[in-house]
Amino acid sequence: MNWFSMYSLFLAETVTVVIAILAVLIFILSQRRKSITAAGRLSVKDISQEYEQVKDDMLMSSMDELEAKLFMKDLKKQKKNERKQAKLAAKQKKKQDKKQEKSAEQTSSDNVVKPVESNTNQQVKPKLFVLSFNGSMDAHEVEELRQEITAVLAVIKPEDKVVIKLESPGGVVHGYGLAASQLLRFRQRDIPFTVVVDKVAASGGYMMACTANKIVAAPFAIVGSIGVVAQIPNFNRLLKKHDVDIELQTAGAYKRTLTMFGENTEEGRQKFKQELEETHLLFKDFVKEYRQNVDIEQVATGEHWFATQAKNKGLVDEISTSDDFILSHLETHKIISVCYQRRQRLSERISKNVIKSVERLFFRQENGL
User: Which pLDDT score is estimated for 105?
Assistant: 61
What is the value of pTM for the model shown?
0.69
User: Which pLDDT score is estimated for 20?
Assistant: 66
* Within a domain: 277: yes
- Distance CA(60)–CA(77), nearest Å, equals 16
* Within a domain: 93: no
Q: Is residue 61 annotated as part of the catalytic site, yes or no?
A: no
Crossing angle of the two packed helices 48-61 and 65-105, in degrees rounded to 10: 160
Give the HSE-up count for residue 338: Cα atoms under 13 Å, Cβ half-sphere. 23
> How many folded domains does the chain comprise?
1
* Within a domain: 87: no
- Nearest to 312, CA basis, from 286, 293, 290: 293
- Distance CA(159)–CA(171), nearest Å, equals 34
* Within a domain: 234: yes
- Nearest to 160, CA basis, from 193, 184, 124, 127: 127
User: Which pLDDT score is estimated for 44?
Assistant: 86
* Within a domain: 312: yes
User: Which pLDDT score is estimated for 257?
Assistant: 76
* Within a domain: 368: no
- Distance CA(247)–CA(261), nearest Å, equals 9
Distance of CA 282 to the CA centre of its chain: 20
Q: Are the C-beta atoms of residues 20 and 235 closer than 8 Å to each other?
A: yes
* Within a domain: 334: yes
User: Which pLDDT score is estimated for 327?
Assistant: 87
pLDDT digit string (tens) for the chain, length 369 residues: 565 555 566 556 666 666 767 666 666 666 555 444 446 788 888 877 776 666 666 666 666 667 666 766 676 776 677 667 667 766 776 777 677 666 666 655 455 444 444 444 446 788 999 999 998 888 899 999 999 999 999 999 999 999 999 999 998 899 999 999 999 999 999 999 999 999 999 999 999 999 999 999 999 999 999 988 877 787 777 877 887 777 777 777 777 777 787 777 788 788 888 888 888 899 999 999 999 998 999 998 889 999 999 999 999 999 999 989 998 898 888 899 999 987 766 555 665 666 556 555 544 444 445
**Torsion from C-alpha of 81, 83, 89, 90, nearest 10 degrees:** -160
Q: Tell me, what CATH number does 351's domain have?
A: 3.90.226.10
User: Which pLDDT score is estimated for 325?
Assistant: 93
- Distance CA(354)–CA(364), nearest Å, equals 14
User: Which pLDDT score is estimated for 228?
Assistant: 85
CA angle, corner 288, sides to 282 and 292, nearest 5? Answer: 170
Q: Is residue 203 annotated as part of the catalytic site, yes or no?
A: yes
* Within a domain: 358: yes
Q: Are the C-beta atoms of residues 363 and 137 closer than 8 Å to each other?
A: yes
Distance of CA 277 to the CA centre of its chain: 25
Domain that holds residue 180: 2-53+123-363
User: Which pLDDT score is estimated for 37?
Assistant: 42
Region of 252 on the Ramachandran plot (φ > 0 left; ψ -120 to 50 alpha; else beta): left
- Distance CA(243)–CA(238), nearest Å, equals 9
User: Which pLDDT score is estimated for 237?
Assistant: 78
User: Which pLDDT score is estimated for 264?
Assistant: 77
Q: Which residue is catalytic, options 30, 48, 168, 203?
A: 203
